[in-house]
Structure 1
Amino acid sequence: MNIRNLLILIWAHITLGSIAPMMVLLNGFVGSTLAPSESLATFGMGMLVAGTAVSTIPAAKIANRYGRRVGFLAAVLISVFGCLSCVASLYVRSFVLYCAGMTLLGCTLAFVQQFRFAATENVPAAKTSLAVGLILFAGIGAAMVGPRLGVFTQHLVPDILYAGSYLALAGLALLAAGGLMLYRPQIKPQEQTFKNRVKFSSLWTSRYALGVLCGTTAYTVMSLVMTATPISMHHHQGIAMGDTANVIQWHIAAMFLPSLFVGVLMQKWGAPKVALFGLICNLMAVVLALQGVTYLHYMVALVLLGLGWNGLFLAGTQLVATAYPGAERYQAQAGNDFIIFGFQGAASLSAGLLMATLGWNGLNLVALALLLICLIGWLHLVLIKGLDSNQSIA
């Protein structure tokens, strides 16, 4: 077990991983200021997720050809350019330039998502679930550092509100680089060739398929409901902004805090049972959200949503990481992340439209349908096909 590499990945996840939580906080304010209409205020977040989705395969190819460290340092450089683009957009008041900067920051997150897979390469096979849990647990640090730093530095640049927040985020990226320069990959780049590249359709064993299904469902449902929650709470129900922020904070805490605990459970129960636990939590969250629109309904539902995301995503990562530990790992991981963040991007962009057309209950019914599809997939792959099958299901 390479403790030093694990500590570096945790440090990088707290610093470089602060992009997403800071953008969740700032995008609504900056988007409302720069967007030509209110309907486009959340478009920047959609571009952030889209940048992540389209960069998953290039990020995997860079890691495959040059090694994890080069890829991670490239992410630092991309994030700095993204932050500077956002600063420039505020200076010249350009929504297009702002969206370009958000896209670059999304590209950075594609590399950040590789931290969880890199962690599995630094531990014995029996400890992979704990390694993934450790990286996800570090996400709570990013969730605390990003938004607080964004608020603290928002007036750093005179007369340009929030420019200082993006400059501070660039500083965090440089701090991440200090640690990542010391990272020593456990797999040499020359061993990571695509000479034996296989058809993507042949990767779909039961284990890999369930991993992709769990990760995709976790992010899609979470993004759909979480993005809509502030709109429903504050704008539709008139619940105070402070109470709305509390719900989102506890939701984020529930997403990351259980990681170590869930990682231990995965060693005892196995990834499929943990995935089922996550599914049940998310089903309970949606059913509760359909029961009422009081502060308590929102709070408990969003905490259950975060806990369910943790179980589903951690189990999905474990399944994908162990399905292909050999040369095709990068191809499998890239395909997994491309699907996950493609669906997350669609969920983020459609949340506002669903709220406007179907309302809070209608949106949650859509989330319920997605969860039931995942449950049917779980029953089919676990109880009928079996996860130990090496046959393609394509």
Structure 2
Amino acid sequence: MTASAPVLVPALPGPEAQRRVLRVLVAAQVLSGAGLAAGVTVGALLAQEMFGSTSLAGLPSAVGTAGSALAAVVVGRVSQARGRRPGLAGGYLAGAVGSAGVIAAAVAGNAVLLMVALFVYGAGTATNLLARYAGADLAAPSRRARAVSTVLVATTLGGVVGPNLAAPTGALADTLGIPYLAGPFLLASAAYGIAALVLTVWLRPDPLLLARALEVPDVPHAVPPRAGVRAGLLVGVLVMALTQVVMVAIMTMTPVHMHGHGHGAAASGLVIALHIGAMYLPSPLTGWLVDRYGRLTVAAASGVVLLAAGVVAASASAGSVAGFAVALVLLGVGWNLGVVSGTAIVTDAVPLATRARTQGLVDVCIAVAGAGGGMVSGLVVAGVGYPALALGGGLLALVIVPAVLAARKRSPGAHGRGSSR
């Protein structure tokens, strides 16, 4: 803890501080959800237009997630040293700068600048995910998953509204002399910038610094602590990385596939809006399920749901918006199950002394997985088609199930109900 920590940690009771922290995080997440949605909705289409190639349409997702990997390290280290407030606010500010860079690249028609800007834009994505850990800092072990889910669900409003503003922001961009597909990044720049301001002004007390000051007890382990940390990290990282790579790969290429079959920005925007809603809206229920039935049980369920998403996407008629909508809703739900359960597993395993730094490194693994999924997705679709990508992604997600069963056998009870019972 730094010398300024006593100023940042007022004498507030843990539960009261937790409620305040969650309110501020929810406000910031609503804003950041809109920023996050911009890249998802039009990033691949913008790259396809600038590069003139479908095989490179997955490049923005790969570059953005690579940027989020670096940002996860930086935000994690800043949070570890100075608290969640400067770490998260700095990440969102970088996301705002990156969004502005995308607009400049589109105006200049400069593909290299576009890639650099998307790399910086990835900081917003990383920060949006890292904020979930801040929600758990002051939570009791038996309510950690629900605290994580509260932060995640807040992204829903911005995430659902954002893609549906693709057409209006595109029209605004046209009016301003900016390429149509860069329009959503106008919204992203403003949303990320305001989210950074909200955290800077109102995230007081800082949840991580207050958790240290109150000496919030860590989760008791059913195995020796060092072994428990290793096992928890490995299982949590595996679940979240596989979930991320499958989600990013299928999500990235769905708008491109739809565009290639005559669907406009409004149709793909609707599908992505439903997908993002499904990623975050089920969070309260998922958090309750994780705390009630155990981390590993819900993690296994994520693999099954992602398989279903892949099957539906692969078999959907090219002209059916409803078919893609159902597939991407399932994709979002499967991602949600994996992220909430995986986050709870990792948080249970890591002590406060190294929590933020380790969580940043964990999210690097998730970002790298997403970068790989984004990069490969365009190549797979160009080579063997979208249905093969969707089905292959679903089968890859199913690997979570045997991995979780093996973890349960190695350490029975370590990731059971509520972790404190």
TM-score category of the 2 structures, normalised to the smaller one? 0.7 to 0.9
Moved more, 45-54 or 342-351: 45-54
Shift of 1:333: 0.8
- TM-score under structure 1 length normalisation: 0.86
Q: 2:198 aligns with which of 179, 182, 195?
A: 179
Q: Secondary structure at the match of 2:232?
A: helix
Cα deviation code 1:3-24 (max 9, x no counterpart): 1111111111111332221112
Change (3 A) 1:77 1:287: closer
CA distance in 1, matches of 2:310, 2:360: 30
Alignment of 1:327-338 (within 5 A): 327-338=353-364
RMSD: 2.8
How far apart are the structure 2 equivalents of 1:308 and 1:113? 16
Distance (Å, rounded) in 2 between the aligned partners of 1:108 and 1:249 = 18
What are the ranges of 5 or more consecutive residues in structure 2 without an aligned counterpart? 1-14, 214-225, 416-421
Counterparts in 2 of 1:143 and 1:190: CA distance versus 1, 3 Å: closer
**Retained in 2: the 8 A contact 1:65–1:189?**
no
* 1: CA distance, partners of 2:372 / 2:387: 19
Deviation at 1:256, TM superposition (A): 1.6
Q: Is residue 235 of structure 2 the alignment partner of residue 210 of structure 1?
A: yes
Letter paired with 1:34: M
CA distance in 2, matches of 1:305, 1:205: 29
Q: Which residue of 2 aligns with 1:25?
A: 41
Tell me the residue number matched to 2:209.
188
Where 2:163 maps in the other structure, the secondary structure is helix
Alignment counterpart, residue 312 of structure 1, candidates 335, 338, 344:
338
Residues 167 and 210 of structure 1, relative CA distance in 2, 3 Å threshold: same
Measured in 2, the distance between the counterparts of 1:215 and 1:56 equals 15
Q: 1:189 to 1:103 in 2, by over 3 A?
A: farther
Q: Counterparts of 1:350 and 1:21 in 2: how far apart (Å)? A: 21
Deviation at 1:114, TM superposition (A): 1.6
Structure 2 SS opposite 1:159: coil
Matches of 1:99 and 1:134, distance apart in 2: 33
The number of residue pairs the alignment matches comes to: 380
Provide, for residues 196-222 of structure 1, a one-character-per-residue CA deviation record: whole Å limited to 9, x for no partner.
xxxxx9785322222111111111111
1:341 aligns with 2:367: yes
Change in CA separation of 1:300 and 1:37 when aligned onto 2, cut-off 3 Å:
closer
Q: Is the 8 A contact 1:251 1:306 kept in 2?
A: yes
Q: Aligned ranges for residues 270-285 of structure 1 at < 5 Å?
A: 270-285=294-309
Question: What letter matches 1:56 in structure 2?
Answer: A
Alignment of 1:263-302 (within 5 A): 263-291=287-315, 293=317, 295=320, 297-302=323-328
Amino acid at match of 1:281: V
Matched with 1:223 is 248
What SS does the corresponding residue of 1:328 show, helix, strand or coil?
Answer: helix
User: Helix, strand or coil: the match of 1:337?
Assistant: helix
Write out per-residue CA displacement over residues 99-126 of structure 1, whole angstroms, 9 at most, x where no aligned residue: 1111111023222222100000132222
Residue 147 of structure 2 is matched in structure 1 by 131
CA drift of 1:131 comes to 0.9
Counterpart residue identity of residue 128, structure 2:
V
Q: Report the CA distance shift for 1:219/1:134 in structure 2 as closer, same or farther (over 3 A).
A: same
1:129-183 per-residue CA deviation (whole Å, 9 max, x = no partner) reads: 1111111111211212433455433325522235664344322233223321211
Residues 176 and 37 (structure 1), Cα distance of their counterparts in 2 relative to 1, 3 Å cut: same
Between stretches 376-385 and 224-233, larger displacement belongs to 224-233
Q: Compared with structure 1, are the counterparts of its residues 383 and 283 closer, same or farther at alpha carbon in structure 2 (3 Å cutoff)?
A: farther
Say if 1:286 and 1:301, in contact at 8 Å, map to a contact too.
yes
Structure 2 vs 1, CA of residues 67 and 189 (structure 1 numbering), >3 Å: closer, same or farther? farther
Equivalent AA in structure 2 for residue 265 of structure 1: L
CA contact (8 A) 1:6 1:122 kept: no
Q: What is the rounded CA distance, in whole Å, between the counterparts of 1:259 and 1:190 in structure 2?
A: 23
Assess if the C-alpha contact under 8 Å between 2:162 and 2:273 holds in 1. Answer: no
- Specify the code of the residue in structure 2 equivalent to 1:266: V
Question: Where in structure 2 are the equivalents of 1:1-394 lying within 5 Å?
Answer: 1=15, 2-35=18-51, 37=53, 39-154=55-170, 155-156=172-173, 158-162=176-180, 165-181=184-200, 182-184=202-204, 185-188=206-209, 205-235=230-260, 243-291=267-315, 293=317, 295=320, 297-386=323-412, 388=414
**1:299 and 1:164 mapped to 2: Cα distance?**
23
Give the Cα–Cα distance (whole angstroms) in 2 for the partners of residues 145 and 337 of structure 1. Answer: 26
| Cα separation, 2, equivalents of 1:226 and 1:125 | 33
TM-score by length of 2: 0.81
* Structure 1 gap segments, 5+ residues each: 193-200, 390-394
Is the 8 Å Cα contact of residues 320 and 332 (structure 1) preserved in structure 2? Answer: no
Question: Offset of 1:254 from its aligned partner?
Answer: 1.8
Change (3 A) 1:78 1:313: same
Please identify, of 325-334 and 283-292, the stretch whose mean Cα deviation from structure 2 is larger: 283-292
> Partners in 2 of 1:138 and 1:215 — Cα distance?
20
Deviations 1:350-392 (A, max 9, x none): 1111112222343234224422322221111113443629xxx
